[in-house]
Amino acid sequence: MALFSQKKTDAKKGKTTASSKGASVSADLSRILVAPRITEKAMRGSEKNVYAFEVARSATKYQVRDAVKALYGVTPVKVNIVNKAPRQFKHANTRRTRTEHGIKKAYVYLKKGDSLSII
CATH for the 28-109 domain, from 3.30.70.330, 3.40.50.10320, 3.20.10.10, 3.30.70.1380? 3.30.70.330
CA-to-CA dists, residue 3 to 7, 8, 20, 72, angstroms: 9, 10, 16, 45
> What's the N-to-C CA distance of the chain in angstroms?
59
Give residue-wise pLDDT tens across range 16-25. Answer: 444 444 444 4
Total residue length of the chain: 119
Per-residue pLDDT at 12 exceeds 50: yes
Model pLDDT, residue 41: 93
Rounded to whole angstroms, how far apart are CA atoms 28 and 5? 30
Rounded to whole angstroms, how far apart are CA atoms 8 and 18? 7
Q: What is the pTM of this model?
A: 0.70
Higher pLDDT, 33 or 27: 33
Question: Which sequence spans correspond to the domains of the chain?
Answer: 28-109
Element (H, E) at 17: strand 16-17
Picking from 117, 119, 29, 114, the residue whose alpha carbon sits closest to that of residue 68 is 29
